[in-house]
Amino acid sequence: MSSREVLKTVLVVDDHDLIRLGICRLLSDVPGINVIDQAASGEEAIVLVRKHRPDIVFMDIRMPGIGGLEATQRILSQQPNTKVIVISAFNDDVYPMTLLKAGASGYITKNADTDEIKTAIETVLLGKVYVSPRLAQMMVVNGLSNQSESPLSLFSPRELQIAELITNGKRANDVAETLNISPKTINTYKYRIYEKLGVSNDVELTLAAVKHGLVDPSEVI
């Protein structure tokens, strides 16, 4: 990098310290990148984006509080020029499609190496979308067949987000407070979610979420 080139600033968001530090370590090997700060939650990320106005945010999905989906939407509504690259352990096609619809510029998995991270950064800075190759292939195949194996593909971004919060142990009133919408609206969404998954209560919802990859089984108590 020449002395005239401007470093691209990056914020890393993940609630697990070791993973967050690992991502920062990988980014330190990417020329032209400056990790300016780290966040452990979506709420903290929103505050730090407002403070630093980073070029790129590396965003985890499943975190305490509002989570990565809501954080992405709020960040991009305030800072539309910021590029959000989702970096997640979830490797089915539901989350990538949902996050890209929400405005994210990229989606990579947590086993990505430095070369892929570099490629993702270069791609989104050109105004293009980057998705890890295997996930991109899965999305194309499901798009061509006009279906996904998972009923979660029928969810709107808001429905997916509320299902995630419920399976994380939050009650309707807690979800309403987190997302700043009414409990009545949350219950309406819950009915739609139950209907789409063919379940009748939160326990069945959690089991269905594990089955279809919305929840890591190790996170279910």
The tens digit of pLDDT for each residue in 112-154 reads 888 999 999 999 999 999 988 877 766 665 554 445 556 777 7
In which residue ranges of the chain is pLDDT below 50? 1-3, 144-146, 221
Q: How many beta carbons lie within 10 A of that of residue 207, not counting itself?
A: 15
Three-state DSSP at 78 gives helix
What per-residue confidence (pLDDT) applies to 88? Answer: 83
Listed in order, strand segments (DSSP E) in the chain are 8-13, 33-39, 56-59, 83-88, 106-109, 130-131
What per-residue confidence (pLDDT) applies to 1? Answer: 46
What per-residue confidence (pLDDT) applies to 64? Answer: 83
Q: Find the distance separating the first CA and the last CA of the chain, reported in whole Å.
A: 48
Taking the C-alpha atoms of residue 45 and residue 142, their distance in angstroms, rounded to an integer, is 32
What per-residue confidence (pLDDT) applies to 145? Answer: 43
What per-residue confidence (pLDDT) applies to 144? Answer: 41
What per-residue confidence (pLDDT) applies to 148? Answer: 52
Can you give the pTM of this predicted structure? Answer: 0.74
Taking the C-alpha atoms of residue 85 and residue 167, their distance in angstroms, rounded to an integer, is 24
What per-residue confidence (pLDDT) applies to 199? Answer: 87
What per-residue confidence (pLDDT) applies to 197? Answer: 85
All domains in the chain, ordered by first residue: 8-143 (3.40.50.2300), 151-219 (1.10.10.10)
Of 148, 150, 151, 176, nearest to 162 by C-alpha is 176
